[in-house]
Structure 1
Amino acid sequence: MIRTNSTQTVRFGHTELPPEQQEALRKARKYEWITIAFLAASTALVYAVLGNSQAMKAAWVEDLLSFLPPLSFLLAARVIRKRPSEDHPYGYHRAVGIAHVVAAVALTVMGAYLIVDSAIGLLSAEHPTIGGFNFFGQTIWLGWLMITAMVLTAGPPIWLGRVKMKLAEKLHDKVLYADADMNKADWMTAAAAAVGVAGIGLGWWWADYAAAILISGSILHDGIRNTRGAVSALMDKRAMTYDDDAPHPLARRLDAYLRGLPWTREARSRIRDEGHVFHVESFVVPAAGSMPSLEQLEQAREACIAMDWKVQDMVIVPVAELPSEFLPGPTTGGER
């Protein structure tokens, strides 16, 4: 909030999350802690039955990497609570983007390493073996424990992913979305590892490496996709929806409203995604070359701020002509 010399308060945007988003953030933190607790248990379980299976090794590494998104989210959620300061006038919401990059790059590097490691094992025709253990005088094949561990760890991430996906949409949080997307796909990792272990039991030694390559490819795919989105956001790409599926529709709504004002001839906006929130610059060409009054500009800006809780900063700049080379193209129906 910034005060003028008069008693009027000028609002440049939303400086705090509204109640609905605050509640969603609280729930997201809770479910991320639940995710970390589950990962601690599942990682220990998988490690205990790891054996010589390359597919199990890849599944275990993916479990370890799965700690990164929730930890990144929790750290970013703590940082963004800081209010804007003189040194950080735009606030601290970029912490979400930084966390996104860190987690995505780690996924990419480890996915690439596992693919190479698994491919070398496949090409060198190394035959993995799975032994047994004595259980009250009976020899039990360790592969059954591996498959059981995969089945037990496959279900909870699917549920957690669905819950967090809804919260990611409410919060416009791409780190939370990436985490939820990975959780929803974890059943494929478990299934592939189980098939690889079963292949060893049937004498198909190559099935283990094939399953490991499939799991590693999934990790690498998640890493590349998230790295591309995270880096683009930090480079001030036009604001996208939380899942990076399309340009955010807010720009279209803002432009339609501003063009509909009686004192404007044309208007276009550019939006910078800071994490959970947006910084908006709207350029308007006044009708008939007449400059709008401060009151008209302020009313228009307040109306734009009220359109979406994500508008943290909003400025309207009257110009003689639109600086089209610096603005994204017009959007229709949220597509472009």
Structure 2
Amino acid sequence: MIARFGHTELPERQARVLRRAIHLEWITLAFLAVTATLVFLVLGNSQAMKAAWTEDLLSFIPPIAFLIAVRLARRRPTVRHPYGFHRSVAIGHLVAAVALTAMGLFLIVDSGIGLLTAEHPTIGTVNLFGVTIWLGWLMVAVMAVTGIPPVIVGRMKLGLARELHDKVLYADADMNKADWMTSVGTIVGVLGIGVGLWWMDAAAAIFIAGSIVHDGISNLRAAVVDLMDARATTFDDAHPHPLVDRVDQYLAGLPWVREAGSRVRDEGHVFHIEAFVVPRRRKVALADVDSARQGCVALDWKIQDVVVVPVPALPDIVDAITVDAVTPRGSTA
């Protein structure tokens, strides 16, 4: 039973969330296996169906990346890897993003060529239980049935991604949420062939490929930024992470600190923090520095490693918080 990231013991709530996320990803893989098989069986000559099938295959990457990253991240730091193996999350994020972007661009080019050369796809009939039916109806039925569960599972994953601060899980959830657009686009393309509007199939395929590229580029940007040690952000990269300000506020509120600021490295699930403090007096007791470090670690489970450095002046790269900006201890304000 996984209950840690590196040497960080997960609180019971986060441990439960992690177990649930792992179970959901295994369920996702099982569902994708069924979905990809069903779509392949009714593929036909529709470009939209081929694009949808490709997206189903690509959808395997984020869950697999998450499961591998979680397994690696639980390893304790070593001499060779003193920061632990948390970067496996960012690497998994990057691999998934590159695969999505590359395949999406390929599908856009492939479908665009089909549209420019005016390829007229045809959908034949199939004998099912002694009855001859148009294969397009089976395509529509498969896309309608398989397009609903991923949306539900994706919304469930969003809350788990927030709790675990897991960007791979968030990317997977975001893709699942958008699966309904793929299903609708594919259905429109197939029905377009049925009514003689051949170009609707290629247009639907380009729409699906565009959705894949959008997911890929947005995740690629986020993954690269994280690997470049940008300022820590929330799990969806929407805002600077509030934990950074909490650390600075805590340190600036200590009796012996005049000013505080920190730089925070997002390692995946956890943060590594270099906190700079300007002391009120020339000599600082080692016990005070160690107590400040332990106090920072106690603020949140995501704070794994903290280095508190007394300095005469804060570096220019950090946002300073002075004692005047912090409510004094014991105040009722």
Which residue is 2:37 aligned to? 44
Once the two structures are superposed, residues 184-217 of structure 1 have per-residue CA deviations (whole angstroms, 9 ceiling, x without a partner) of 1101100100000000101111111111011000
Whether 2:327 is the aligned partner of 1:327: answer no
**Residues 212-223 of structure 1: matches in 2 within 5 Å?**
212-223=205-216
d(CA) in 1 for partners of 2:285 and 2:226? 35
CA distance in structure 2 between the partners assigned to 1:216 and 1:196 by the alignment: 13
Paired letter, 2:318: L
Q: What CA distance in whole angstroms lies between the structure 2 residues aligned with 1:143 and 1:80? A: 45
Structure 1 residue aligned with 2:221: 228
What TM-score comes out, normalization by structure 2 length?
0.92
Q: 2:194 aligns with which of 195, 201, 210?
A: 201
Offset of residue 311 of structure 1: 0.5
Deviation at 1:14, TM superposition (A): 5.9
Q: Deviations over 1:26-45 (max 9, x none)?
A: 11111100000000000000
Query: 1:299 offset after TM fit, Å?
Result: 1.8
Q: Structure 1 residue 271: deviation in Å? A: 0.5
Q: Which residue of 1 aligns with 2:292?
A: 300
1:264 positional shift: 1.5
Alignment deviations for residues 44-87 of structure 1 (CA, whole Å, 9 cap, x no partner): 00000000100000000000000000001111111111111111
- Determine the C-alpha separation between the residues in 2 that align with 1:123 and 1:321: 64
Say if 1:136 and 1:282 are closer, same or farther in 2 by CA, change over 3 A: closer
Q: What is the distance in 2 between the residues matched to 1:217 and 1:137?
A: 39
Residue 327 of structure 1 and its aligned partner are, at CA, apart by 2.9
SS in 2 for 1:279: strand
Residue matched to 1:3: none
- Uncovered stretches (5+) of structure 2, i.e. residues with no partner: 1-5, 326-333
Distance across 1 between alignment mates of 2:128 and 2:104: 36
- Equivalent residue of 1:280, what SS? strand
8 Å CA contact retained: 1:14, 1:309: no
Q: C-alpha offsets along residues 224-253 of structure 1, whole Å, 9 cap, x if unaligned? A: 000110111011011110111111011111
Between the two proteins, the alignment pairs up a number of residues equal to: 317
TM-score (norm 1): 0.91
2:267 paired with 1:314: no
2-structure distance, mates of 1:51, 1:208? 12
* C-alpha spacing 1:328/1:110, structure 2 compared with 1 (3 Å): farther
Offset at residue 162 of structure 1 (A)? 1.1
Offset at residue 223 of structure 1 (A): 0.3
Structure-1 separation of matches of 2:267 and 2:12: 20
The AA in structure 1 aligned to 2:301 is: W
The question of 1:55 aligning with 2:54 is answered no
SS in 2 for 1:72: helix
Shift of residue 91, structure 1, vs aligned partner: 0.8
Q: Structure 2 CA distance, aligned partners of 1:291 and 1:18?
A: 37
Query: What letter matches 1:321 in structure 2?
Result: A
- Name the SS of the counterpart of 1:312 in structure 2: strand
Conserved? CA contact 1:291–1:318, under 8 Å:
no
Q: Given residue 145 of structure 1, which amino acid in structure 2 is its aligned partner?
A: L
2:261 is matched with 268
Paired position in structure 2 for 1:27: 20
Q: CA deviation at 1:159?
A: 1.2
Calculate the aligned-residue CA RMSD, in Å.
1.6
**Distance in 1 between the 2:20 and 2:312 partners?**
47
- Asked whether the equivalents of residues 14 and 311 of structure 1 are also in contact (C-alpha less than 8 Å), the reply is no
After TM superposition, where is structure 1 displaced by more than 6 Å over at least 4 residues in a row?
none
Written as runs of structure 1 = structure 2, the 5 A alignment for 1:239-278 is 239-278=232-271
Cα distance, 1:20 vs structure 2: 1.6
The DSSP-based 3-state class of the residue aligned with 1:241 is: coil
Any stretches of 5+ residues in structure 1 without a counterpart? 1-12
Residue 99 of structure 1: how far off its partner (Å): 0.6
Match of 1:96 in 2: 89
Q: Distance in 1 between matches of 2:92 and 2:23?
A: 18
Equivalents in 2 of 1:26, 1:138: separation in Å? 46
Q: Tell me which amino acid in the other structure corresponds to 2:40.
A: Y
